[in-house]
Amino acid sequence: MKITSKPGNGNKVHIYIDNEYTLTLYDDFWYRSGYSEGQKISDDELASLKEEAGFRSAYEKGIKYLSMRAYSERELYNKLKMKFGDDASRRAVDKMLRLGYINDEEFCREYAKYLFEVKKYDIKRISYELKSKGIDSEIADNTLKTLDNEPIQRIIDMLRSKYERNLETEKDRKRLVNRFIRMGYSYRDIKDAFYEVGVEMPQ
């Protein structure tokens, strides 16, 4: 089989085998690969080239994702796997772990802080969200212990500020109770908070 190339968009190069398009590579990877125009390539060499190209593409895409926001290890792996498959994605994520670009403990601390302080979620909902990102249970539990959680007081604070206008009708209060439940608060804590602010619980 004969390998040839044509320039693609940006820093991409299109690779052809016996004049048939086969794959696209980053130009620096192609120029370092050791292959030259019209060179013969075996099936095993082509398979190896495809494998390395997949890994490089997965790695570059992973770096792009991380430039936009933080990811947990499993979350990023699952996102890459949908496009690049298991092996390339695993290699890419392992490299990013070695380089310190992914750190589940740091991600867990920052994400839990965001959910607690900005979204106002209760511990139960935060725990669910962390574990849905693939965070190890021990890491998640240790992080949750650092949060100064007083659920009843947190609900009271929200009732007196953010949701003060949602207490007028039975329908409004019922919606608000459901909202708090979705945020992870227990029905008992919600009931106690309503009592503390002198608001009747919906039936």
Q: What is the pLDDT of residues 158-168, one digit of tens each?
A: 999 888 887 88
Q: Write down the pTM of the prediction.
A: 0.81
Which pLDDT does position 101 carry in this prediction?
Answer: 96
Count CB atoms within 10 A of the CB of residue 22. 18
Cα–Cα separations (whole angstroms), residue 67 to 58, 70, 74, 136, 166: 14, 8, 17, 23, 39
Q: Read off the pLDDT of residues 39-68 as tens digits, 9 standing for 90 and up.
A: 888 888 888 888 988 999 999 999 999 999
Q: Which tokens hold the place of 51? A: 């494998």
Q: Is 127 exposed, middle or buried (0-12, 13-18, 19+ CB in 10 A)?
A: buried
Mean pLDDT on 78-103 = 95
Closest CA to 109 of 77, 72, 75: 72
pLDDT at position 10, please? 82
